[in-house]
């Protein structure tokens, strides 16, 4: 009930979508398990998949498909007068539909038994800490926790509180302060010089990372306080020495979902090298489209798919950390983020062109004090991440490693910084997906 109140506070009308998806997949999960043969079970599975993908097609991609169809005919000189619908994108629909689909697929694969407890299943679908922007939890991890008795755990409390504090710092002090500087540059790239564009491109890598990982930290930490353990969603992705390693560390709940429910069913690496490249390409293309109904995201995902294939083809995945390769991968990922952040493909092309204009005068930084705040917050966040990486320490377990006095001092320091440098609230970037 609390999760429904939480979601309904945004727009109560879309509670019906969550309820519909919950009821459909609850009943179909039981039907799949009770099916007398695999053909009938597969029909129930397809019903689940088509229902969830249908919701996405209508509420997320309808206008994109229509506009793309019109643009295609325009290439042949034919103007079509087609109306689109003013459809509001329900917050979190990409996350909870993937979550319920994986439930049905796991039952069909006989990797999971359906739960008969409707309340537990409804909570699994709508659990408020991760409802609107992930992580995408698996039923095999969360439902057993919902059905078991939870007891007081001091270690979980410390870990949860510390991760929540770090998440708010990453979002409020780092990501939002970066956004206040670079949003104007990305919104009107044509009036900015090459230095400003380069600064915006590099800083956006940090903005999206600290924004999204910050949300994941808050979600995972909040779940910890309530007695639940989520899987880690980020593992210091900018310390990667290959694109393959980057995707093992970035948005892990999505990348593993795509691997288990798309890449492997397509054939994975079991049907020859060429088919493996095709499967990587299609998986990342569709992964890009999952992020948003725009060709920008399709291009972004496609580029990552091509690079993953090239790394496999030429054995470009090092076994050990390499600093120079790390820097090269960071710059490459930052470059590809241009397609993700730009308002349109034409803007992305313009930004890339600006990078090579050699118009490297003084960059536009706006007011000096917000810029200084950004540098300060980014420096602290990067030093902390470097410490976690060098000591091979997980943020999820960091709080409990601290003594009581050290814990209080660090959390107090983080909270004071949040209060001092909080300026204005902005939505989490992944709320739009």
> Which residue bears the tokens 């060429």?
274
Tokens of 212: 């999204």
How many CA atoms does the CB half-sphere of 410 hold within 13 Å?
A: 20
**Quick one: residue 149, left, alpha or beta (phi over 0 = left, psi -120 to 50 = alpha)?**
beta
Catalytic residues: 291
Tokens of 120: 């537990």
Host H or E run for residue 236:
none
Question: Among residues 95, 106, 105, 101, which one has the least CA distance to residue 230?
Answer: 95
Do the beta carbons of residue 338 and residue 201 sit within 8 Å?
yes
Do the beta carbons of residue 38 and residue 108 sit within 8 Å?
no
Q: What are phi and psi of 69, to 5 degrees?
A: -65, -40
**Cβ-proximal residues to 228 (8 Å cutoff; 6+ apart), any chain:** 127, 129, 142, 145, 146, 150
Q: What is the 3-state secondary structure (H, E, C) of 159-203?
A: HHHHHHHHHHHHHHHHHHHHHHHHHHHHHCHHHCCHHHHHHHHHH
Give the distance between the most distant pair of CA atoms in the chain.
Answer: 71
The answer, yes or no, to whether the previous bond of 255 is cis (omega within 30 of 0) is: no
Tokens of 326: 């790390």
Write the DSSP string, 336-377. Answer: HHHHHHSSSHHHHHHHHHHHTS---SPPP--SHHHHHHHHHH
Crossing angle of helices 194-225/368-390, nearest 10°? 60
**Cβ-proximal residues to 27 (8 Å cutoff; 6+ apart), any chain:** none
Q: What is the DSSP letter of 261?
A: I
Tokens of 78: 């034919």
**Cβ-proximal residues to 267 (8 Å cutoff; 6+ apart), any chain:** 275, 276, 279
């Amino acid at each position: 009930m609390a999760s429904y109140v939480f979601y309904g506070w945004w727009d109560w009308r879309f509670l019906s979508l969550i309820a519909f998806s919950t009821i459909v997949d609850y009943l179909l999960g039981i039907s799949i398990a009770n099916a007398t043969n695999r053909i009938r079970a597969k029909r129930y599975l397809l019903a689940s998949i088509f229902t969830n993908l249908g919701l996405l097609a209508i509420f997320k991609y309808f206008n994109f498909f229509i506009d793309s169809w019109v643009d295609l005919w325009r290439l042949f000189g034919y103007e079509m007068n087609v109306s689109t619908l003013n459809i509001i994108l329900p917050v979190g629909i990409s996350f909870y539909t993937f979550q319920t689909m994986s439930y049905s697929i796991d039952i069909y694969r006989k990797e999971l038994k359906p739960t008969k407890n409707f309340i537990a299943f409804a909570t699994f679908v709508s659990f408020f800490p991760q409802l609107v922007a992930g992580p995408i939890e698996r039923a095999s991890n969360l439902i057993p926790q919902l059905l078991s008795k939870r007891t007081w755990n001091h270690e979980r409390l410390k870990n949860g509180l510390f991760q929540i504090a770090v998440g708010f710092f990453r979002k409020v002090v780092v990501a939002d302060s970066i956004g206040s500087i670079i949003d104007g540059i990305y919104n009107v790239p044509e009036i900015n010089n090459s230095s400003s564009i380069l600064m915006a491109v590099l800083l956006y890598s940090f903005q999206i990372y600290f924004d999204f990982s910050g949300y994941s930290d808050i979600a995972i930490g909040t779940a910890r306080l309530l007695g639940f353990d989520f899987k880690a969603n980020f593992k210091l992705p900018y310390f990667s020495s290959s694109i393959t390693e980057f995707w093992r560390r970035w948005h892990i709940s999505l990348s593993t979902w795509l691997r288990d429910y798309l890449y492997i069913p397509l054939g994975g690496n079991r049907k020859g090298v060429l088919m493996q490249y095709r499967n990587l390409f299609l998986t990342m293309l569709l992964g890009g489209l999952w992020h948003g109904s725009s060709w920008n995201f399709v291009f972004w995902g496609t580029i990552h798919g091509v690079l993953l294939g090239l790394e496999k083809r030429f054995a470009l995945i090092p076994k050990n950390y390499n600093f120079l390769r790390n820097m090269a991968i960071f710059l490459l990922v930052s470059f590809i983020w241009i397609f993700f952040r730009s308002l349109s493909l034409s803007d992305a092309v313009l930004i890339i062109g600006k990078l090579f204009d050699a118009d490297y005068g003084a960059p536009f930084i706006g007011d000096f004090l917000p810029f200084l705040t950004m540098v300060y917050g980014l420096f602290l966040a990067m030093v902390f991440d470097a410490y976690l990486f060098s000591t091979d320490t997980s943020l999820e377990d960091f709080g409990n490693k601290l003594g009581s006095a050290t814990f209080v001092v660090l959390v107090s320091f983080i909270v004071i910084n949040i209060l001092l440098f909080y300026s204005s609230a902005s939505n989490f970037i992944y709320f739009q997906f």
